[in-house]
Structure 1
Amino acid sequence: MADPLKLEVLSQKSLHQTADPELLTYCPSMDLLAVASTDQQVLIYRLNGQRVYGAAQKGSSLQVESIRWKPNGQLLAIAWSDGSVRLIGAESTKIVHQFSTGNKVTGVTCMGWASNLTSRKRNGDDSKKAPGSWGEILDETSDSWDKRSPLDLPRDLALIDIETSLPKLSVLAAGGISDDVFSSRSSLDALFRPFDPKDNDAVDVMVVGTREGQIHLTIYDSFVVGSFESPVSFDGEPCHLVLHAANEQYSTHGLLMKSSVATETLFFVPMDLRFISASSEYLSLLASRSTALQNLLRYINQVQALMTSEWIATRELPGKFLRNINETLGERGNRNIVQALYHSVATGHTFPEVREWLVDELAERGHKRWDKAVTSGLENLKRLVHQNMLPALDRCSVILSRFSGIAKFQDTNDTVGFSSQQIHHIIDIVASLHLISSKILIQVVDEVELFAAFSSWLRYEIDRLASDSSSSTNEDTNEKEASINHSKVLLYLQTVMTSSPLSVFFDDTAENPKEALPEPQPGTRIFDQVDQELQKLEHGLPYVKNLPRVDLLCHVLGQETNTVFSQIADAEKRNVLFGKPHALGIPQHGTPMAMRMGKIEDSLGSSYVAFIPQGLFMEVFRVTFSIENGISNVQNIDSTAMELGDGRVKDLRFADDNIMLVLWESKGLTSLLSIPYRAKSISLRTDDLWLKFPNHHPVTDTINPTIYENKEVLALFSKYSIPTEDSFVPEKIEIRESKARGGRLNEDNRRIVVLGKDRLKYKVFGYPSYQAQKVPNEDIPMS
């Protein structure tokens, strides 16, 4: 027997707070370790120990229940005790998404995040069949025409990457009413990542189990499929999810449920996601673009709120100044400030009340405040429309055009959950918002120019009235007056100062918000109605006041898109099936458990579950299931058990499809055991050092574990040794298996994280291949 391979220490870190041993996870694509402390902080560290991110619920009693990386490592999901799940970016560390798993959730018991290949990808390597680029297809000299499948123009058009040609969305101001996720370039890029045609081969699925036993499904980061009641109950009480396993080759997921009663019996339940296996090839595009559309609506709503805020800012301070002088003029005559200022501009004469207001109350300081409030407000409004709202609406149009194409060209057997008529109605609303935003932009540009002329004249009038009548002063005032465009000043007074045309787009005129917009007339597009009302407004005719309002149109847009999202979710939810639950046994309370799903054949898979039953031995279950048309059928459940000397199992993990790592302590010394658990073929070889699974019922039959002495345990299974020191005693392990889609392993990027017994220090080790771990020729019975 070769000496154990000593693992290389890549990193070690001493923590300031005690870590929760159950909340430790390594990023699958980057050297980032996420850990939650007992004071409810979530921290992310680089391999060199540098802290990247820290989050805590200040002033809240919420607890961190689970943390999980997205399969590609771009996001980290944090589940809280109120059932909310927050997704933060690995690079931006901003809250990218947030959703709730239910209204009355008292805790999250498990969270899994897996990637499933679509049926189109699983059925073969499409790279050999796909028509390739259109330039290659149109090349008459190409000799590969007969090697290609028939062209699918709708599919290829749907997968064309248009969004990269659109201008990037601009960041929004941080704080206030703005969502922080839109306040940085990195978070925006992460949130609005263009659709990559490579992503059309897989669907990311998040499974969250609650303490009440519900199973909550989400795909593509934040697109909620829905919640399901617990698929198994015990003694009348719903069981809750404790472990989740999936394999990218199957649309069937494995759920390990545990009863809430004193016995805490474990049940294996298959969950079939037929919306993946039986879906059209547009599922990935549909789900990912639905998520992108949801993000765009969040962005548009934030922009609309900021636009309204800037509009209010342009009117608030001037309104205070104007109310004061209007009250004075009303008491002393039958005129208002507009008439009085118009008189001053036209005749050069200023009424005594206006002179007193300009010189004593408004003065230079008041004018500067007025000018700054209006100018900055209008410039910000112009920027929000031009750089934020219009580009976001353009992106909505592109996504909705894809939805329209999917609805139009879907197969008769496919149900995407919405119709082309619904999408056209939403496109109409987006077009209406685009029209109104363009009108706002034109009016803002005009108002900026008119106010600049008015502001110059107002400052000139204040200086003239406050100065003496010296000749030098008169020369200066005459020169300033010559540069003023009096026609624009008069136009501003008549059309903007007290009743801006922009008010029709922002002012709240609806008495009942629920009935804010009129029902569209039969056969009439909402865009046509909005256009007609705007034309009436421009010609001074009576119009429907609520139709041009930006906030109401945004509200209607959200309602209509939410209807489509719910219909898509319902169509997918109907294709989620739970299989029959199978009891596995009763684990010893507080002992570790592990679960993994492996592939045997295209239509045959297996799930392995390992835990410590009531005793000193370890038991491993193998659940073999077949899959036909996306529906699984459990063929067999068998188990084997082994007693590892007089030591105890501190932790266990399935390292890959063949090896299980066990942290084993005996006589004060902790060893890392590497136990082969799965043969590479369906028929188990009798001369291999693999766990043998006898054909018996795992619950009713008596289990006779294979007993190993301590020397045998170390000789057979101690393939790796952890460099230890007196102050560091290994207690928990976490494994990062760096695996790309398609099952390829990257040996150089595999990591093992070991948390010390004091929970204040962890070490990261490289986990290379062990050549001596090949199957030996000796026959060593294991059951």
Structure 2
Amino acid sequence: MTISLLSPAHKFLGLVDESLINWCPTLNLITVVINKTSVWVYRLNGERIYSVNNKSPILSITFMKNGLFFCLAGVDGKIKIYDSNNGKLIKILSSTFDQIKLINWNFHTYKSYHKFDDLFKVNVLENLPSLSSEVGDNIDINNNSNDLNFLTIIDSQRLCINFNNLLIIDDISLASNIEFKDHLNNNDLFNQYFLIQNQDHDDDSLQLLQWNIAVENKKILIDIILKFCKIINYLNYIDSQLQQCHSKVTPFLQLYDRYLSNLKDSIEEDDIMIYLFDLLLTNLIPEETKDFWLNQFGERGYKKLIKLGSNMYDGLREVLFIQIVSCLERLCILFNDLYSISKWLKDSNSNDDTFGLNPLIINGLLNHIKVFLKRIYKLIWIINKEQELFNNFINWIKNDIIDKILSSTGKDCVIKEHDIILYLNNHCFNSGIWQYFDLNLSDCDILRNESNPKLLVDSYNLLNTEFNEKLLIPFSKYFKSHLNFEFADFPIKLSLESKLHYINESHSIILTRKDSSLQILEFSYSNPIKAITKELNFNQQINKEILSYQVYDNKILILLKTEIGYDISRVIIKNSNEFEIETVSCNSGTRLPDPQKLALNAEFGCILDGNNQNYMVFKH
């Protein structure tokens, strides 16, 4: 085995927490926690590319297996998810945890449990046009794959599972006498393993704890979870798009109200509408208002108002039709799929009943979507009509008022008095658009939304609330009721330093470090109790001490201190109880005089010195 040093030793600009130095699984980035509260991310050459200030001491950091995101757990009880490429904060979980003990990010690898599972499988969502990528808090709105990741969070009182950063199964109660120490990444949601300490026992040994989800139709459960994740993502997306609508309406309202308020200050009448009607019918412009039309409003005000009006109407129509309608169509597909699943389960002889799904509830949600869509199409019709009337109104102001004052004659143009009267009566002071959104007009002097029914916002809130209360909560209760914990007692004692490591789809190992030996306990998922043990002793020729070790795939790298320097041993796990050991000298005093901590990814490693500041990167 050869160790290729990639560059001279570098130095972290701060005190590193040696237990929180990690590699991104897929990007060649080193992440370290500096001065307890900040994560700094480095390239192989020592260049720092970004840092994240958690504003609270960091307890743990874990990466998603594909390397796209990493997650921080802090003393403040917050779980924060970041983009690995740039350090951008993606999401803060809504729950606040008490004394976070463990976080771990796993993938569930899809398995075909029955022969005909995928016979009629068609991904309809995949063939629909893409939605906008600017979705704020959402995670990849156009991802229609069946990948399932789950973040496991354990605090002093409960266990929480967060699927795809969207669906949360919260408040899974745990025994008060158990403390979780480690969690295995084994790509199988239905069989997860933990190392725990039973605080009621007198000794300091650890036990293996397995959770098992006791369901018959595993494929259907995974399918339901994936559909729920997508539904939550689309609902979040609709909420963000409604906020986009608000942001398009608000600037126009503020400018429009300011001009109307200034006009009111210029006229003798208290009623602006009477003034505008008189202006339309008599074509006479009162002298006291000419200054407003020429100087306060004028050509500049006309251009600003018509630009903002066009942006508002065109933007609303685009968001409603291209984004929200498209999203509701996707929700129809997903809810119809869930309806079919629930009907099939209810009519079959399944022992899993309906996974907490109720066909009547799902059908009711589909009806809510239909009402939502009808309101959107009606609003689009109102937008089209109101935009036409607004353009006529603003052109009338330009041609028959401003230009007339400037030229004393005005321009010859066709004015549809009926359309202007219609606009003044029905849209100018209380637009039909406003009743569809939750707009705050408290700062407006003239414009008022008296009824404020918030039709679209109410439709969204009703759909979201019904989905959460009548589908998610029953499903969450079902999931928790079928989640069982079982202990596996091994014939040998596991010390507090023992760690779980994934090897393959059928086996994993538990490693326990001693001064000069490494105890390897290999167990199968099918029968954990029948474990195979082997002890690797590195004290046969020269006195050696194990300083640190890391496992990646089926390879263990061990950093050893010897009487003459430092070595790295590589242990290849070939088959059950069969290991291949290679050792290479790592004496590089001018580079790193006191190696202490080892961290790996699939290709590279990092060695940290005893001062927790100097490090070097190598290829293994």
Smaller-chain TM-score bracket: 0.7 to 0.9
Distance 1:625 1:655, change over 3 A: closer
Distance 1:250 1:286 in 2: 14
Secondary structure of 1:444's counterpart equals helix
Match of 1:433 in 2: 372
- The one-letter code matched in structure 2 to 1:654 is V
- The answer to whether the 8 A contact 1:195-1:288 is kept is no
Secondary structure of 2:561's counterpart equals strand
Matches within 5 A, 1:12-411: 14-38=11-35, 40-47=37-44, 51=48, 53-57=50-54, 60=55, 62-91=56-85, 93-100=87-94, 102-106=95-99, 108-117=100-109, 120-121=112-113, 156-157=119-120, 159-172=121-134, 180-181=136-137, 190-196=140-146, 199=147, 203-210=148-155, 212=156, 214-231=158-175, 233=177, 238-239=178-179, 241-248=180-187, 251-258=190-197, 265-274=204-213, 278-326=216-264, 332-333=268-269, 336-355=271-290, 357-359=292-294, 361-410=296-345
- The answer to whether the 8 A contact 2:207-2:494 is kept is no
- The answer to whether the 8 A contact 1:8-1:766 is kept is yes
Is 1:550 matched up with 2:452?
A: no
Match of 2:386 in 1: 447
Distance 2:585 2:536 in 1: 24
Matches within 5 A, 1:577-596: 577-580=484-487, 582=489, 593-596=498-501
Match of 1:6 in 2: 2
Match of 1:513 in 2: none
Match of 1:611 in 2: 513
Give the deviation of 1:435 after TM superposition.
1.8
Is 1:727 matched up with 2:598?
A: no
Match of 2:606 in 1: 753
- The answer to whether the 8 A contact 2:551-2:557 is kept is yes
- The answer to whether the 8 A contact 2:266-2:292 is kept is no
Match of 2:443 in 1: none
Distance 1:546 1:358, change over 3 A: closer
- The one-letter code matched in structure 2 to 1:291 is C
Match of 2:445 in 1: none
Is 1:419 matched up with 2:358?
A: yes
Match of 2:521 in 1: 622
Give the deviation of 1:587 after TM superposition.
5.2
Give the deviation of 1:453 after TM superposition.
2.1
Give the deviation of 1:364 after TM superposition.
4.1
Give the deviation of 1:419 after TM superposition.
1.7
Distance 1:24 1:213, change over 3 A: farther
Match of 1:143 in 2: none
- The answer to whether the 8 A contact 2:434-2:454 is kept is no
Q: Which ranges of structure 1 fall in alignment gaps of 5 or more residues?
A: 124-128, 131-151, 173-178, 183-187, 510-543, 691-716, 738-749, 768-783
Secondary structure of 2:428's counterpart equals coil
Matches within 5 A, 1:532-543: none
Give the TM-score normalised by structure 1: 0.68
Match of 1:746 in 2: none
Distance 2:112 2:463 in 1: 33
Give the TM-score normalised by structure 2: 0.84
Match of 1:671 in 2: 567
Deviation by residue 1:39-69 (Cα, 9 ceiling, x = unmatched): 5332444445555543223xx3x12222222
Aligned length: 601
Match of 1:653 among 537, 541, 550: 550
- The one-letter code matched in structure 1 to 2:413 is A
- The one-letter code matched in structure 1 to 2:372 is L
Deviation by residue 1:669-690 (Cα, 9 ceiling, x = unmatched): 22112356x6724xx6xxx668
Secondary structure of 2:112's counterpart equals helix
Give the deviation of 1:291 after TM superposition.
1.6
- The answer to whether the 8 A contact 2:498-2:510 is kept is no
Deviation by residue 1:17-52 (Cα, 9 ceiling, x = unmatched): 443322233233343433332353324444455555
Distance 1:86 1:104 in 2: 12
Match of 2:446 in 1: none
Distance 1:264 1:660, change over 3 A: farther
- The answer to whether the 8 A contact 1:450-1:489 is kept is yes
Give the deviation of 1:347 after TM superposition.
2.7
Distance 1:624 1:607 in 2: 6
Secondary structure of 1:488's counterpart equals helix
- The one-letter code matched in structure 1 to 2:3 is L
Matches within 5 A, 1:733-772: 733-737=598-602, 750-767=603-620
Distance 1:292 1:83, change over 3 A: farther
Q: Percent identity over the alignment? A: 16
Distance 1:568 1:451 in 2: 49
457-466 or 385-394, which deviates more = 457-466
Deviation by residue 1:211-258 (Cα, 9 ceiling, x = unmatched): x2533223334322224344462xxxx52x221114346832221234
Secondary structure of 1:431's counterpart equals helix
- The one-letter code matched in structure 2 to 1:302 is S
Distance 1:485 1:82 in 2: 64
Distance 2:45 2:335 in 1: 45
- The answer to whether the 8 A contact 2:62-2:71 is kept is yes
Give the deviation of 1:642 after TM superposition.
4.7
Distance 2:200 2:6 in 1: 43
Distance 1:317 1:284 in 2: 51
- The one-letter code matched in structure 2 to 1:620 is Q
Deviation by residue 1:318-356 (Cα, 9 ceiling, x = unmatched): 223334544775xx55x7222322222233123445445
Distance 1:449 1:71, change over 3 A: same
- The answer to whether the 8 A contact 2:25-2:67 is kept is yes
Bigger-Rg structure (1/2):
1
Distance 1:723 1:438 in 2: 73
- The one-letter code matched in structure 2 to 1:29 is T
Is 1:680 matched up with 2:575?
A: yes
- The answer to whether the 8 A contact 2:184-2:502 is kept is yes
- The one-letter code matched in structure 2 to 1:753 is C
Secondary structure of 2:419's counterpart equals helix
Give the deviation of 1:365 after TM superposition.
4.4
Give the deviation of 1:77 after TM superposition.
2.3
Distance 2:430 2:259 in 1: 15
Give the deviation of 1:559 after TM superposition.
1.0
Distance 1:558 1:250, change over 3 A: closer
